[in-house]
């Protein structure tokens, strides 16, 4: 029921949720380690405690809070004077009792032995040790009277005078009747407190801080009361309830000054009906519900059957819980490292090379996890079982995600630039016009080479978003590289830059066509560093060049353009000047034909590697997979649109591996890249919702 619960059958209370897989540690025989990232804590069924707290802060009352988390329920006053048995210690060989005075005249406790006449009185400060004696229970106290030892079928302690605290193995209790029974199946003891629900039990529930808003406390009290009243007696523990997270935390008398100061807030919530014999509960169809709750849900609660199986309970339906994701919740985001060996063992595989978590519950937790070994063996695991075996806080496992968007392509490029090179001495400027997009596609490696952002321009003026990024670097800016001829970025833009930023030198890297532009960009890169490797992409479509631009920028590989069936003279000249001996062709044979590959490999004697695929999405995924080992760590992957290219023009300047997505769904190739990157923590989406819908971000996060 509470936040620290571990997985078990229905009736025990589990741990609450949300999260995502990332962070690689050095590989072992069982594969690399994975970091699981998520949000929330617990099983996620029923009320979210942090959600309830934030709902109360928003002005919701207890009835509204409970009605939200327990579908179709009412908030009613019921009799709550029933006595329940709470197991304080189970299966112990001994227990130590002592007395303390809470107020003047307190400190005396009377112990009796079963149905016998044996009794002893503990004076203030006396200590009693209780052990097994054959099939019986024995209490020993050298300073007690009239007896120092009593033995019976059980030992019972009575002290409920309001002035005395009975301490059981260090925990003080003000109320109840303590009974110590011999365990039937072993030579141990069961230490149980018999308490009245209304006050002797509920007053000491420690499931949330007592300093929380009163309406949240009232909702918690009603849930705790309903849970207690709905429990049946369990012979194995001699109890209705455990005192810990297997049921709900029953913590004893508060002795710390902070707890005592806040305690009246809690007892006021417990007594919300204003009577000594009734308390509020949530009911469904007139019956008290089993009011399961958890620390937080990670954004949406779970259907009970998705976690524990069995039949659907009508009041335990998945509901939205945005309140759990507020900063007050320390588990709104969490991460933990899972070793490759632990992950492989959980699935019964020698290693895990791919982890597919896209099968989700209604509450967005993992329903069925699917693991694939490096040899291709496949195994599945129930999501809740995976959480239990791996010790996760949640089944809501998901990558982090951030969007670099904007109202248009220029604003998107500005959002990308805002992450990069805050004190840059250089910037790269390319056209955002649809007819000149190839200039921006080949500009990513130049951006990383000169150490400046890649920004987009109108043909005849600077957009506001571009000016803002240049203004932010005006104090350090010395050079601006304009990629493209005057037909793409006019001389009016050059003049505007020179006028707005005195002291800045503008360098135009143009040419009579796109091949010449890519040639001149490559030459500028070569002037600063060796270029033994180049990327070759088709001039017939922008997707392949775009999909490879992140890798090319990170590795400083010039992107050279080619016609589909022949290599233009400008590209031949660029190859001659580059000294490159390795060429990576991006795209299938329909984009870059075998004639081009033959020219590079046979005529020029270059080492050629083709990264093809059935479509642009598969090409970008294959590029990402091939070059991933070249990165020391892949904690971030960029995702952008494979159709709305304008938004993605500056994505390559982020210097990350990239995958392309369709509007209607994340392609399987991209999903595989995400699922085979153990160190992945964040997916950075470049583009606004019109190009990459929110649903695609969710799909990628939950991959």
CA 289, 292, 298, 303 torsion-angle sign:
negative
- Tens of pLDDT, residue by residue over 88-101, are 999 999 999 999 99
Residue 23 has pLDDT above 80, yes or no: no
Tell me, what's the pLDDT at 603?
97
DSSP letter for each residue of 644-684: -GGGGTTGGGG-S-EEEE-SS---HHHHHHHHT-TT--EEE
Q: How far apart, in Å, are the Cα atoms of 516 and each of 297, 522, 571, 573?
A: 56, 10, 7, 9
Taking the C-alpha atoms of residue 261 and residue 264, their distance in angstroms, rounded to an integer, is 7
- Look at strands 378-382 and 400-404 and give their pairing: unpaired
Residue in 326, 77, 51, 6 with CA at minimum distance from that of residue 226:
77
Where residue 10 falls among pLDDT bands split at 50, 70, 90? very low
Residue 393 CB partners (closer than 8 Å, separation 6+): 15, 16, 17, 18, 19, 38, 40, 41, 42, 331, 334, 336, 387
Which residue(s) pair with 190 in the sheet?
90, 181
222 SS3 class: helix
Which residue(s) pair with 96 in the sheet?
129
85 SS3 class: strand
Structure tokens at 523: 């030459």
Other beta carbons less than 10 A from residue 443's beta carbon: 32
Domain spans of the chain, in order of start: 1-46+294-395, 94-187, 404-701
CA 64, 67, 73, 79 torsion-angle sign:
negative
Tell me, what's the pLDDT at 30?
78
Tell me, what's the pLDDT at 385?
94
Tell me, what's the pLDDT at 1?
54
- Tens of pLDDT, residue by residue over 25-43, are 344 577 899 988 999 999 9
DSSP letter for each residue of 569-626: HHHHHHHHHHT--EEEEES-TTTS-HHHHHIIIIIS--EEEEE--SSHHHHHHHHHHH
- Look at strands 366-372 and 378-382 and give their pairing: antiparallel
Residue 616 has pLDDT above 70, yes or no: yes
DSSP letter for each residue of 18-81: -EEEE-----BTTB--EEEEE--BE--BSEEHHHHHHHHHTT--HHHHHHHHSTT-EEEEEE--
Q: Which 8-state DSSP code applies to residue 200?
A: I
- Tens of pLDDT, residue by residue over 243-261, are 999 999 999 999 888 899 9
Span of 434-438, 440-444, 445-449, 591-595 with lowest mean pLDDT: 434-438
Residue in 250, 293, 255 with CA at minimum distance from that of residue 270:
250
pTM of the model: 0.87
- Tens of pLDDT, residue by residue over 603-613, are 999 999 999 99
Residue 463 has pLDDT above 80, yes or no: yes
Taking the C-alpha atoms of residue 416 and residue 614, their distance in angstroms, rounded to an integer, is 29
- Tens of pLDDT, residue by residue over 175-201, are 999 999 999 989 999 999 999 999 999
């Amino acid at each position: 029921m509470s936040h620290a619960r571990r997985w078990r059958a229905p009736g025990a209370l589990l741990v609450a949720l949300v999260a995502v897989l990332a962070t690689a540690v050095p590989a072992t025989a069982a594969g690399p380690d994975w970091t699981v990232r998520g949000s929330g804590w617990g099983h996620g069924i029923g009320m979210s405690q942090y959600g309830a707290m934030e709902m109360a802060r928003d002005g919701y009352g207890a009835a509204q809070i409970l009605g939200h988390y327990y579908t179709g329920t009412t908030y009613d006053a019921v009799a709550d004077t029933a006595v329940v048995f709470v197991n304080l210690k189970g299966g112990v060989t001994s227990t130590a009792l002592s007395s303390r005075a809470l107020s003047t005249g307190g400190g005396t406790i009377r112990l009796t032995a079963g149905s016998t006449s044996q009794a002893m009185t503990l004076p203030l400060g006396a200590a009693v040790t209780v052990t097994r004696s054959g099939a019986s229970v024995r209490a020993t106290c050298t300073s007690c009277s009239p007896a120092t030892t009593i033995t019976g079928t059980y030992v019972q302690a009575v002290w409920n005078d309001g002035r005395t605290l009975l301490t059981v193995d260090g925990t003080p209790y003000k109320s109840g009747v303590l009974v110590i029974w011999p365990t039937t199946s072993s030579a141990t003891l069961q230490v149980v407190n018999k308490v009245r629900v209304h006050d002797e039990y509920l007053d000491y529930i420690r499931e949330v801080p007592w300093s929380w808003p009163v309406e949240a406390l009232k909702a918690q009290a009603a849930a705790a009361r309903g849970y207690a009243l709905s429990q049946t007696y369990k012979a194995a523990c001699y109890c209705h309830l455990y005192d810990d997270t297997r049921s709900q935390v029953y913590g004893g008398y508060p002795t710390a000054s902070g707890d005592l100061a806040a305690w009246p807030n809690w007892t006021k919530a417990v007594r919300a009906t204003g009577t000594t014999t009734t308390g509020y509960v949530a009911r469904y169809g007139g019956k008290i519900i089993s009011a399961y709750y958890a620390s937080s849900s990670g954004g949406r609660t779970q259907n009970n059957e998705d976690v524990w199986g069995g039949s659907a309970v009508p009041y335990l339906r998945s509901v939205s819980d945005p309140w759990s994701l507020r900063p007050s919740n320390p588990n709104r985001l969490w991460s933990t490292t899972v070793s490759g060996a632990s992950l492989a063992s959980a699935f019964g595989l020698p290693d895990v090379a791919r982890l597919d978590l896209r099968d989700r519950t209604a509450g967005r937790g993992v329903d069925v996890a699917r693991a694939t070994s490096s040899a291709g063996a496949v195994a599945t695991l129930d999501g809740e079982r995976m959480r239990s075996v791996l010790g996760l806080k949640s089944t809501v496992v998901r990558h982090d995600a951030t969007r670099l968007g904007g109202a248009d392509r220029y604003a998107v490029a500005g959002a990308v630039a805002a992450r990069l090179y805050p004190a840059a001495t250089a910037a790269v400027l390319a056209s955002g016009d649809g007819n000149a997009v190839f200039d921006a596609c080949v500009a990513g490696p130049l951006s990383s080479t000169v150490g400046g952002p890649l920004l987009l321009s109108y043909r005849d003026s600077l957009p506001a978003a571009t000016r803002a990024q240049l203004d932010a670097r005006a104090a350090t800016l010395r050079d601006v590289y304009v990629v493209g001829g005057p037909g793409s970025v006019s001389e009016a833009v050059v003049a505007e830059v020179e006028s707005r930023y005195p002291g800045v030198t503008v360098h135009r890297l143009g040419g009579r066509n796109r091949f010449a532009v890519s040639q001149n960009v490559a030459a500028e890169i070569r002037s600063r560093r060796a270029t033994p490797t180049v990327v070759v992409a088709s001039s017939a479509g922008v997707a392949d060049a775009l999909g490879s631009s992140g890798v090319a920028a990170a590795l400083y590989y010039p992107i050279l353009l080619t016609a589909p069936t022949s290599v233009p003279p400008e590209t031949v000249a660029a190859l001659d000047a580059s000294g490159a001996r390795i060429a990576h062709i991006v795209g299938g044979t329909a984009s870059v034909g075998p004639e081009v590959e033959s020219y590079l490999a046979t005529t020029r004697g270059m080492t050629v590697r083709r990264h093809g695929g059935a479509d642009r999405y598969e090409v970008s995924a294959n590029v990402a997979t091939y070059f991933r080992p070249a990165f020391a760590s892949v904690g971030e992957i960029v995702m952008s649109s494979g159709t709305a290219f304008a938004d993605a023009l500056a994505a390559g300047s982020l210097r990350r591996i990239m995958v392309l997505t369709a509007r209607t769904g994340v392609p399987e190739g991209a999903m595989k890249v995400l699922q085979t990157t153990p160190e992945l923590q964040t997916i950075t989406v470049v583009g606004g919702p019109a190009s990459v819908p929110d649903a695609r971000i969710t799909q990628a996060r939950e991959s």
